[in-house]
Amino acid sequence: MSMPNKALGQHWLFDSKSLAAVCDAANIQPEDTILEIGPGLGPLTTQLTQRAKKVIAVEFDDFLALNLASRVRAKNLEVVHGDIMHFDLGKMPRPYKVVANVPYYITSAIVRMLAESATPPVSTTILIQKEVAERIAAGAGDLSILALTTQFYAIPQLGPVVTADKFDPPPKVDSQIITLRHRAQPLFNDVAPKDFFRVVKAGFSEKRKTLRNSLSGGLHMTKEETVALLTRAKVDTGARAEQLGLEDWHRLTQHIYKK
């Protein structure tokens, strides 16, 4: 057995019930094509190949990529040795689903990459740090840029918690399954995503400050102009960025980028 690579955030999960829970949350059907990220030693890969029509497993680690096919002997498995952040999702057969036990350090980057892709999966089911899963699924009052980005493109649903003792070696925190169902239609048809997120990033640019300050600096507006904008958009001028919901950001973007 390969030793986990701490630099890659590797923690092996062999608990069969937890692995089955990931597959169940993904609602895998016999006709499905699955993209697995970071298959490692292949315990999840094994279950995926038993349930899906095809599994394309992208593995960054040289040794693990080389040996995965011999560990998981399945005709419907294709192993790709590479970095998922540079993988061309456009080459995936459509539709496809993503299923993975994702290393903590790269979770946010992977979620954003999949959400913003021009050829996204119909759903993404991942096992990630419990705290991050809760952040992604948060509601107005506790929203981060990661949550806003994810929820702009997908609908999150929290699944079962997998405790740290189920991993080898055990991580310092518990994990949780979360499924992101990609929106078939844009959430907002009247604003461009780049405009929406320019406003969001401006709002979060000085997180400790109120929006009338952060938006003023981030969008190069005077305080008076910012207060007027917030008032027109029916947003509390004393609110902070994390307190706003998706609809609030939508109204702000509408008022800034009027057609």
Q: What is the pLDDT of residues 208-234, one digit of tens each?
A: 789 999 999 889 899 999 999 999 999
Closest CA to 13 of 178, 173, 179, 165: 165
The Cβ-side half-sphere exposure at 41, using a 13 Å CA radius, reads 13
Q: At residue 43, what is the residue type? A: P
Domains, in order of start, for the chain: 6-182 (3.40.50.150), 193-256 (1.10.8.100)
pLDDT at 201 over 80: yes
pLDDT computed for residue 10 by the predictor:
63
Q: Which residue reads 């960025």 in tokens?
A: 241
Q: What global pTM score does this model have? A: 0.92
Percent over 70 (pLDDT), the chain:
96
β-strand 154-162 against 175-182: which pairing, if any? antiparallel
Q: What is the pLDDT of residues 36-83, one digit of tens each?
A: 999 999 999 999 999 999 999 999 999 999 999 999 999 999 999 999
- 100-126 mean pLDDT: 94
